[in-house]
């Protein structure tokens, strides 16, 4: 049961071969068994989960089920959920119980899904390895010595380890796609504005986007059906017709024009990953796709532009954590200013402080034009590269991460080498485009390798369709770690 897809589970629930209570309990047991070693979850609340499962069972019994009714879903600890601690991986929010639901939590509740638990993440979603969490490092289920990627490392590890059939993530610069790649699962970052950010704790608001993480593209499509949609409470939510992302999953790929950016295939790319991409090109060709080399000339400036902009937005967004209204407050201080200072010094970890300092610096009067405005201009150039490319091709294929999972601790003292983990994912966020990572092989060391598909705005259905066809003729997504 712990290896079934959402479609299979949904069928079993509907035909009442299993109940949601049984299913939820078996996942809770699995979490209980594996979490000490993997640390994918920050918290669970069996009472709330099983209560939701009971309600789902009665809904199913009344013939009122929808595809995800009764399905347990793990939620990244960045989405506010009423009655649940919502920590964002930080000491600052370690005692925060949300009084309200994020938009996507509401949507999962409305469809009768079960909130299985809160997954671990880099503090305030800043990181690429899940090592910055206040709640400890997450271990990659394929190799406990390796990182699971980040910042949605807990979600990726939970799905890979069979500790959840599906999970949510958020992606500001790669945090859905990179951990999906490093853990051998599928994940999609939608077009900016497709999924409401209401109730999702803000890191860099112009880049943040929530999306699904699951074993297969088909499962991601089912989850995206729930998550996508207009919400007036997020001013950047796009009001457009709702799509059924499962409708076109089987569409043939005949004539599909795939672009391979020459800037992605340089010395920085691990040869084992390059080989998986070559093999994937052959598979797509057999399915009828036509492959072209393309150029995204501004790719090398994506990382510096991102770290200026994301840090600037983070410094502003994180101003609200001052110990006054909610969250952590330093236990000893002598006046208000001292309380602010101590609260922020004690409540935030090193990486978050580094981002706040960079952000404050680039936004300060003397440097605003030189850094912040400049980075905004670079952002436009990067988006233009993609628009030009999409005049000739339908989709871009490339690596998700420059290398498979690295070892825990390996990059802790070198933030720049950590920032380079997102070299292939960050430009997609700067342009606001959708990107999907899917499993495409393993390294010699047995660590998963992912490949990335990048689409034009709102082309999620096409990306899921390509990934689904690929998964019909490959079995990488069905492999499981030995646990």
Which residues are known to be catalytic? Answer: 76, 151, 175
Tally the residues of the chain. Answer: 483
Q: Does 173 bind ligand GLN (CB under 6 A)?
A: yes
Specify the residue, 171 or 460, whose C-beta has the smaller distance to ligand GLN: 171
Among 24, 151, 237, 400, interactor with ligand GLN by CB under 6 A:
151
The DSSP line for 266-333 is STTS-HHHHHHHHHHHHHHHHTT-EEEEE--TTGGGHHHHHHHHHHHHHHHHGGG-SSSSSS---S--
Comparing CA positions, the residue from 131, 270, 125 lying closest to residue 202 is 125
Work out which of 87, 119, 128, 196 binds ligand GLN, going by CB under 6 A.
128
Binding of ligand GLN by 431 (CB under 6 A): no
Query: Could you tell me the smallest distance in angstroms from the CB atom of residue 150 to ligand GLN?
Result: 6
Interaction of residue 171 with ligand GLN, rule CB under 6 A: yes
Q: Which residues of 129-147 are buried (b: 16+ CB within 10 A; e: fewer)?
A: bbbbbbbebbbbbbbeebb
Tokens of 31: 């979490």
Exactly one of 72, 89, 127, 154 binds ligand GLN (CB under 6 A); that residue is 127
130 interacts with ligand GLN by CB under 6 A? no
According to the binding rule CB under 6 A, does residue 359 interact with ligand GLN?
Answer: no
**Residues ≥6 apart with Cβ < 8 Å to 235:** none
**Is 174 near ligand GLN (CB under 6 A)?**
yes
Tell me the closest approach of the beta carbon of residue 96 to ligand GLN, in angstroms.
19
User: What residues have CB less than 8 Å from 92, skipping those under 6 apart?
Assistant: 321, 327, 328, 343, 347, 348
- Of the candidate spans 60-68, 168-176, 194-202, 320-328, the one that interacts with ligand GLN by CB under 6 A turns out to be 168-176
Enter the tokens of residue 309.
């902009």
Q: Which is nearer to ligand GLN, 173 or 455 (CB)?
A: 173
Residue 125 found at the interface with ligand GLN (CB under 6 A)? yes
Whole-number minimum distance, CB 379 to ligand GLN, in Å?
15
> Is residue 88 near ligand GLN by the rule CB under 6 A?
no
The three-state secondary structure class of 413 is: coil
* 175 binding ligand GLN? (CB under 6 A): yes
Q: Which residues between 289 and 318 bind ligand GLN (CB under 6 A)? A: 310
Build a one-symbol-per-residue string for 180-209: x at contacts with ligand GLN by CB under 6 A, - elsewhere: -----------------------x------
Q: Please tell me whether residue 427 binds ligand GLN under the rule CB under 6 A.
A: no
Q: Of the listed pieces 171-179, 210-218, 267-275, 291-299, which binds ligand GLN according to CB under 6 A?
A: 171-179
- CA pair distance 433, 190, nearest whole angstrom: 7
Least distance in angstroms from the C-beta of 125 to ligand GLN: 4
**Smallest separation, CB 456 to ligand GLN (Å):** 21
Backbone angles phi, psi at 280, to 5 degrees: -65, -35
Q: Closest approach of Cβ 50 to ligand GLN, in Å? A: 31
Helices (H), 1-102: 6-14, 20-38, 46-61
Name the token pair of 305.
Answer: 């532009």
CA dihedral 321, 322, 327, 329 (to 10 degrees): 150
Q: Which residues, in sequence order, are CB contacts of 79 under 8 Å at separation 6+? A: 86, 102, 104, 105, 168, 199, 200, 201, 210
Q: Which is nearer to ligand GLN, 168 or 172 (CB)?
A: 172
| 352 counts as binding ligand GLN under rule CB under 6 A | no
Residue 252 CB contacts under 8 Å (≥ 6 apart), including other chains: 287, 288, 469
Q: Which is nearer to ligand GLN, 163 or 176 (CB)?
A: 176
CA–CA distance, 179 with 447 (Å, rounded to integer)? 12
- The contact set with ligand GLN (CB under 6 A) reads 125-128, 151, 171-175, 203, 310, 422
């Amino acid at each position: 049961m712990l290896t079934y897809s959402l479609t299979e589970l949904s069928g079993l629930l509907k035909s009442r071969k299993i109940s949601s209570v049984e299913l939820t309990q078996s996942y809770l047991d699995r979490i209980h068994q594996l979490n000490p070693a993997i640390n994918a979850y920050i918290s669970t609340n069996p009472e709330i989960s099983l209560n939701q499962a009971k309600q789902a069972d009665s809904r199913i019994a009344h013939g009122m089920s929808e595809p995800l009714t009764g399905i347990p879903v793990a939620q990244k600890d960045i989405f506010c959920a009423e009655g649940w601690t919502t920590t964002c991986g930080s000491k600052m929010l370690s005692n925060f119980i949300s009084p309200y639901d994020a938009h996507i939590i509401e949507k999962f509740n409305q469809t009768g899904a079960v909130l299985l638990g809160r997954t671990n993440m880099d503090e305030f979603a800043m990181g690429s390895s899940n090592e910055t969490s206040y709640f400890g490092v997450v271990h990659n289920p394929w190799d406990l010595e390796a990182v699971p990627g980040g910042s949605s490392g807990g979600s990726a590890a939970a799905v890979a380890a069979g500790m959840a059939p599906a999970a949510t993530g958020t992606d500001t610069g790669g945090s859905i796609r990179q951990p999906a790649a490093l853990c051998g699962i599928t994940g999609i970052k939608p077009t900016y504005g497709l999924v409401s950010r209401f109730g999702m704790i803000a890191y860099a608001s112009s880049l943040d986007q929530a999306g699904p993480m699951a074993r297969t593209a088909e499962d991601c499509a089912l989850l995206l059906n729930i998550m996508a949609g207009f919400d007036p409470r997020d001013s950047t939510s796009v009001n457009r017709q709702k799509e059924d992302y499962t409708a076109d999953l089987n569409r043939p790929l005949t004539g599909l024009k795939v672009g391979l950016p020459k800037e992605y295939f340089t010395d920085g790319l691990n040869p084992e990953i390059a080989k998986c991409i070559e093999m994937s090109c052959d598979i797509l060709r057999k399915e009828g796709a036509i492959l072209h080399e393309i150029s995204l000339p501004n790719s090398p400036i994506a990382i510096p532009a991102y770290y200026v902009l994301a840090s600037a937005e983070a410094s502003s967004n994180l101003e609200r954590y001052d110990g006054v209204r909610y969250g952590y407050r330093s236990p000893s201080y002598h006046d208000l200013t001292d309380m602010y200072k101590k609260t922020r010094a004690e409540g935030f970890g090193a990486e978050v402080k580094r981002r706040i300092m960079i952000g404050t610096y680039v936004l300060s009067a003397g440097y605003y034009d030189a850094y912040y405005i400049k980075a905004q201009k670079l952002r436009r150039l990067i988006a233009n590269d993609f628009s030009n490319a999409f005049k000739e091709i339908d989709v871009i294929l490339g690596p998700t991460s420059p290398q498979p999972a690295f070892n825990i601790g390996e990059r802790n003292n070198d933030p720049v080498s950590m920032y380079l983990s997102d070299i292939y994912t960050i430009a997609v966020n700067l342009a606001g485009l959708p990107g999907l990572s899917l499993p495409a092989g393993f390294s010699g060391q047995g660590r998963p390798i992912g490949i990335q598909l990048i689409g034009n705005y709102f082309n999620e259905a096409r990306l899921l369709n390509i990934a689904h066809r690929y998964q019909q003729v490959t079995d990488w997504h069905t492999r499981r770690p030995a646990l």
